[in-house]
Chain A
């Protein structure tokens, strides 16, 4: 074929291409569509499932309440006045029996797994996330020695907190404050002074007389370029230290010597600004 014949063949080529394009339809996938519903059919409500669920929930609620009632009867039957008061408040107290622990947490034995060896038993929630809780918070572990509670461990936002003597139980907020300060230190070390200041602020509500906390807040405010508040906090830090006492107990507070010097230095600098 000579090149000069090509223009004459152009219509033929065009028509052939058109036919080819028409044949090349998108591939139809026909797997024999199964019709599952037509106009006029009926959709019945899931009565059977609802009835079964109603029966099941009623049964499990009745069984649970009956078990709880019998546990309460045992728990309140022979409790010392302090333990009875804790039961009434829904708090686990040291010295409680296993039945009293279940009554205080408004749970039954289904909610716990128990490991027993000798005179020691350890109760831990079967479901860690939606496990039993008392008035203080979600319980992570209860240790019983000789049939009575020796220690209780709570799951808290800052980690676990164990109560193994009476003073621990009263110090729940102080423990949380210490954890908040630790968290604040970590944030300050990472350079997030706004978040660190927030943790120190929350901790200072409990630890109002903590001079070191005041210094940390002052330093964070200083880093955040808030000089007026920083200066105030530095002054509060120095006031809380009670300098005269420091002189008397210089050795005990030697670790704060650097902080004192730094605070005084910063007050001078900030005053000049």
Chain B
């Protein structure tokens, strides 16, 4: 008795479909939501973990430095005004510096240590809106022009990387430098730094 006699055509078709389905299931996509604070290193390149490490360190350093308290004490309780400038990415990687810069900005605002004014890229839109209000808004609700706060300090910085590769091994070193510069005198009132070193080893066999 042959296989054809044992299993009718319909049964064979169903078995084939089941086999295909189970094979497909092996390669299906799996998405899991994980905690944003979790360390997840996949490729060894700059990732969210590095960004958070840098943000935490720079926030701690800038809040502990005492420049804001000194200014506040000397100006009768008025917090200094800060503008966030450019953080240059001087690495070969595409790195979103905005993530940790926004974290520093948020820390300055939430602690009340400094007043942060809109950066040059944000100002254009705000000025357009204010200009628009002068023509179309009710007089008692218009935001007055010429009332912007001038920043006393500018927060700028840069990100650099050094890479060393040999066969399956790779070492990447990132250095983030941030500084707060007095806009009138160009004096640096605070300099923050954070360094990250990663050792990446690829498996001898594997995809």
Give the interface of A toward B (CB within 8 A): 26, 33, 37-46, 49-50, 52-54, 56-58, 60-68, 106-108, 110-111, 125-127, 129-132
Please, how many angstroms separate the alpha-carbon atoms of A131 and B35 in the complex?
Answer: 46
Q: Are B56 and A45 within 8 A (Cβ)?
A: yes
Q: Which residues of A contact B75 (CB under 8 A)?
A: 64, 106-107, 111, 132
Nearest residue (CB) in A for B113 is A57
- Indicate if the CB atoms of A65 and B76 lie closer than 8 Å: yes
- Bound Cα distance from A140 to B110, whole angstroms: 34
Chain A residues in 8 Å Cβ range of B39:
37-43
* A108 to B74 CA separation, bound complex (whole angstroms): 7
Docked CA distance A131–B73 (Å): 11
Beyond A57-B68, A57-B72, A129-B182, is A65–B35 a contact (Cβ under 8 Å)? no
Given contacts A53-B63, A129-B182, contact A60 B72 (CB under 8 A): yes
Which residue among A40, A53, A56 has the maximum number of chain B CB atoms within 10 Å of its CB?
Answer: A53
Known interface pairs A37-B39, A38-B39, A130-B182; A43-B76 also in contact (CB < 8 Å): no
In the complex, whether B116 has a CB less than 8 A from a CB of chain A is no
CA distance A161 to B85 in the complex (A): 33
| B185 adjacent to A68 (CB under 8 Å) | no
Binding site for A on B (CB under 8 A): 35, 37-41, 49, 52-53, 56, 59-60, 63-64, 68-79, 107, 110-113, 152, 166, 182, 184-185, 187, 189, 199
Q: Is the CB of A57 within 8 A of B49?
A: no
Say whether A42 contacts B35, CB under 8 Å.
Answer: yes
B78 contacts A43, CB within 8 Å?
A: no
A60 to B110, CA, bound (A): 15
A49-B60 in contact (CB<8A): yes
Query: A63 and B77: CB pair below 8 A?
Result: yes
Q: Could you list 27 examples of A-B contacts with CB < 8 Å?
A: A33-B199, A39-B39, A39-B40, A43-B49, A43-B56, A44-B37, A45-B37, A46-B56, A50-B59, A50-B107, A53-B111, A54-B110, A54-B113, A57-B69, A57-B112, A57-B113, A60-B69, A61-B78, A64-B75, A67-B76, A108-B76, A108-B77, A127-B70, A130-B70, A130-B152, A130-B189, A132-B75
Are A64 and B73 in contact, CB atoms less than 8 angstroms apart? Answer: yes
Q: How many A-B residue pairs have CB under 8 A?
A: 115
> Hey, which chain B residues are within 8 Å of A64, CB to CB?
72-73, 75-78
Q: Within the complex, which residue of A58, A127, A132 is in contact with B112, where a contact is CB–CB below 8 Å?
A: A58
B56 lies within 8 A of A65 (CB): no
Please give, as numbers and ranges, the residues of chain B lying within 8 Å of A38 by CB-CB distance.
Answer: 39
**Complexed CA–CA distance, A37 and B50 (Å):** 11
Bound Cα distance A125, B185 (Å): 16
How far, in whole Å, are A108 and B70 apart by their CA atoms in the complex? 12
Select from chain B the residue with minimum beta-carbon distance to A44: B37
**Closest Cβ–Cβ distance, residue A53 to chain B (whole Å):** 4
Q: How far is the CA of A118 from the CA of B69 in the complex (A)?
A: 34
Determine the distance from Cα of A225 to Cα of B110 in the docked complex, in whole angstroms. 59
Residues of the B chain whose Cβ atoms lie less than 8 Å from the Cβ of A54 = 110-113
- Contact residues in A for B189 (Cβ distance below 8 Å): 130
Contacts of B41 in A (CB 8 A): 39
Return the contact of A68 from the options B52, B69, B77 (Cβ within 8 A): B77
CB distance from B170 to the nearest CB of A (A): 13
